[in-house]
Amino acid sequence: MTTDEARPAPEQYRSAGDEVDRIVGAWERERPDLDASPLHVLSRISRLARHLDLARGTAFARHGLEGWEFDVLSALRRSGEPYQLSPGQLVTQTLVTSGTMTNRVDRLAARGFVERHPDSRDRRGVLVALTPSGREVVDAALADLLDRERDLLRDLPPREREALTSTLRVLLQPFDG
């Protein structure tokens, strides 16, 4: 099958009528020499990510949190009792630099959401521990976030959610592997 055979006709996309279809149709009209088909998937993911960021921001703001604060606090909360991780583990889980993490831990400690404790296994090491107020705020923010995310997925039947989950897992695998 050639690239042209694998690519549905632009009219098919225009009949579906979303903004991405219009964008792709315009690129196909202006640059028929290029295969714009990746935009059908990745532009939708990008647009969905923006909407998700807005919904998450709203959920976090209701609890006085920024997204990065939720990321750090939730990494600690997910770690289980005693809700503590090394700064290196936090860096790995939140995909930021060690300098950025130091700044974030400082700011969360100033808000009373985390504390630093010496690592009993490494005299030079430090562990970042979730405080009771940190646990309370991250638990409340998570509940609100999940309500909003369920609402975003409400029109997608369970079987389609499972298929989408599987497809997105394959798409993300090279980045997470």
Report CA Rg, the chain: 22
Q: How many whole angstroms separate alpha carbon 10 and alpha carbon 32? A: 10
Q: What is the pLDDT of residue 79?
A: 97
> Is the separation of the CB atoms in 100 and 106 below 8 Å?
no
> pLDDT by residue (tens digit) across 11-22?
544 455 899 999
User: pLDDT > 70: what percent of the chain?
Assistant: 90
Q: Is 68 exposed, middle or buried (0-12, 13-18, 19+ CB in 10 A)?
A: middle
> pLDDT by residue (tens digit) across 109-127?
999 999 999 988 888 899 9
Residue 93 corresponds to which tokens in the numbers above?
Answer: 């889980």
Q: What is the pLDDT of residue 123?
A: 83
Res. 144 pLDDT band, cuts 50 70 90: very high
> Is the separation of the CB atoms in 168 and 156 below 8 Å?
no
SS3 state at 98: helix
- CATH code reported for the domain at 67-138: 1.10.10.10
CB count within 10 Å of CB 53 equals: 11
Asked if residue 6 has pLDDT above 70, the reply is no
Q: What is the pLDDT of residue 65?
A: 97
Q: What is the pLDDT of residue 8?
A: 47
Q: What is the pLDDT of residue 9?
A: 47
Q: How many whole angstroms separate alpha carbon 135 and alpha carbon 69? A: 12
- Mean predicted lDDT score pLDDT of the chain: 90
Res. 173 pLDDT band, cuts 50 70 90: very high
